[in-house]
Amino acid sequence: MGVEDFWDARYRVDEASSVAEEGPVLAAALTHFGDLAGKTVLDLGCGMGRSSLFFAQCGARVIAVDVSRVAVARLERLCAERGIANVEAVHGSAFEIDRLGPVDYAFGAMILHHLEPFDEFARVLRAAVAPGGRAFFYENSAMSRLLVWFREHVVGRAWVPKEGDDEEFPLTPGEVDLLRRQFSVRVEYPELLFFRLVSDYLLRGRLQAPFAWADRMGHRIPALRRLSYRQYLYLG
């Protein structure tokens, strides 16, 4: 099954939504962007459009892009039903966003690790974002060799679930360096997501509290914090 077919199937069944598109993540992006009134925001991998609607409510003109025709069609219907005129839903590839720019800001939640060849995408993103513009991405991370080994040898086998498509891989430090060739990049680890993965994947949610405690304690240690499976990327 191709990537587009995979996500079309997901969106036909449910919203394929994620907390990655809500709450603290959007607040962090808004802090990085500043006042959105009269600005254009590119929402890359918009899905059902929660982040697109958020930025639109903040006064931005939003270009919402997704590879799934199902997701784009749903967002178009939702905007029509609510009378939202400042969101343009676009079916397309991340490698074509330079044709939609220049934009003031770009946002994405769990999208970069789907994109290959990544060096080409970094150049396209640079062309899409206007000089002086910014981008914010919420991503997973391949910094931990242990988590990468677990993903390659355990996830998707036996009772351990696999959520993504077959072509994705956590964002690598090398790919972050490719972004640094085009932008200034600051990486932040808002939480340590590491020990909880044992509960989430191996124990089917059991013993969540002690593993969450271990993550909170570990987040205080810079060397351990960098191994988190979640990160914010601030591009300027």
Domain ranges of the chain: 3-140+168-191+230-235
pTM reported for the whole predicted model: 0.90
| Long-range own/partner contacts, residues 160-165 (CB < 8 A, 24 or more apart) | 160/201, 160/202, 161/201, 164/114, 165/1, 165/3, 165/6, 165/7, 165/114
CA distance 173 to 187: 11
Per residue in 82-104, pLDDT (tens digit) is 999 999 999 999 999 999 989 99
Per residue in 169-209, pLDDT (tens digit) is 899 999 999 999 999 999 999 998 888 887 777 777 788 89
CA distance 132 to 144: 33
What's the chain's average pLDDT?
88
Neighbours of 16 (CB within 10 A): 16
For residue 106, which of 178, 32, 189, 169 has the smallest C-alpha distance? 32
Instruction: List, for the chain, all residue ranges whose pLDDT scores fall below the cut of 70.
Output: 1, 8, 14-22, 150-167
CA distance 143 to 172: 6
Task: Characterize 89-100 residue by residue with b for buried, 16 or more Cβ atoms within 10 angstroms of its Cβ, and e for exposed.
Answer: bbbeebeebeeb
Second CATH level (architecture) for the domain 3-140+168-191+230-235: 3-Layer(aba) Sandwich (3.40)
